[in-house]
Structure 1
Amino acid sequence: MENHSITRVVLLACGSFNPITNMHLRMFELARDHLEDTGHYKVVKGIISPVGDGYKKKGLIEACHRLQMARLATENSDWITLDSWEGSQVEWVETAKVVRYHYEELLAAEQNSDDVDTVKYAKKRRKKDVYFEDSTHQKRRDAPRLMLLCGADVLESFGIPNMWKQEDIAEIVGCYGLVCVTRSGNDPHKFIHQTDVLWKYRKNIHVVQEWVTNEISATHVRRALRRGRSVKYLLPDGVIHYVREHDLYSAESEQKNDDVVLAPLQRNTGASSS
């Protein structure tokens, strides 16, 4: 018998994925284990959403390549998938808007599912719609819950001036939820304690302890590729083949956007000065 007290969860990871590594994929597995171990959640899907070229991060290669590498990395997964909407946008899209977009897509898919199989969902549909606390969005309790998946470094970027709008942090964490995977050298619990907006919504933040430390960073991978070193077992084999086939990472590519201000800093600084 289906347990209606279990909340279905979709995990969304946003970032450069420059390139996507085995650790990016591993984060999804860690998050799923953690959430399902609570007995309250069932993770039904993982979405990888690479940022578009408009982000202007130094060394960020073209989105078309990063999207294809993510597609190759997830082709053998039965629950993690690539979504190219964010990566195909010309202008940089704030993460809060990306989260909102994917949640609306989930609701639309759920509605279509309701329409197709009304018998299966009839019992659920009779329930009165409810709202999550502090949410500005209408959310049915029986709809999947969307949570943003990130590493501790992304969590701590919330404290970088002009990197994030405070209202965006409140929306992402307060209305949806955050799953943060620890990395050595980071203390998410301390950072949450020191940050008012995160402390306010601390019950919506799931900190996942990674006991098998695996410090694969895309920066280190790019350095190894530039130097002609092996990256076997750091990246999926299909991604390694794609990188070599297209000769993607070089000293020249690492200097891309070197003289450009990162899009969020440019946009948020402009907004604050106007």
Structure 2
Amino acid sequence: MLTIEEYISRRKKEDRLNEFNPDERNQNMKNCVDYVFEYFNQYLDFSKMDEKTALNEERLEKYRKAIDRYDINIQEWLMSIYDQYDKQLNRSIVNLLKTDELFLIYDSDSEFRRSSYECYSKLVKKHPYLKNQTEFLFLFIKDYHELVSQPSGRINQIYISDEISEWIEKTWLKHQVNILAFTSDWAHRFYTNEDYWSPKHKIKTNNSWRKYEYDYKQKNNLFNLNSLFTRISEKPFLRGKKQFLEILMMYYWLHDVFGDEDNYWHEYLSKCNIEVNSRNLSG
């Protein structure tokens, strides 16, 4: 449930109210008064509020803080479900989205819409209150994608070449797709899922916990990129960028996933005809 300040802020955005426009002063005053009346006469349900205990309010406030990074309308939707059904629905949705290996390069409403339908089909049996709420599910998925794609932290501070950096930046600005987040995620998924590895890239080991290691020094189809690229190559920001994807995956494989005890990164850059310097050698 929103506070009165949050409610007025939301209504202002919906009506695109500009309080600094002198020509709309009288109408703005009327709208603001209406917002207050709406809040107390329609939005608040005092009979329900009276039933809430102090412990329940504390429980709701704790959950609100856990989801405060989402859009305010999404927060309200999640809060209403949590209040009524005691379900933290965002966790269930996010767990499903994390199984989608291509989610981080989605850039169209049709992809997010398809994802919402898939999530709905898997959630509705356990969460029947989701019926007729597919639009909120769609909006949540779009909002979550934007949040997890934001360029921040070490993952977005790497440098390999000017050309690669320019491609990464342009892709983010035009498509809101974080190429670094996607390639890092793929490298980590690839390491933990040996089913992705072709037989030619498997090296038998004596490790008790793992039968094979991945031969990342092969010259072809590293990280099963041939198969992956056929699924994503139609995206305009990926056309002709297969080599760049491999380079970024190799970076994360050596610096974040597997390690680079024999300094292969230096050799690999040379093989890719990328000038080696102090900036792209740092991990």
What TM-score comes out, normalization by structure 1 length? 0.26
Higher share of residues assigned strand: 1
Whose relative contact order is higher, 1 or 2, with alpha carbons under 8 Å and at least 6 apart? Answer: 1
Larger Rg: 2
Higher share of residues assigned helix: 2
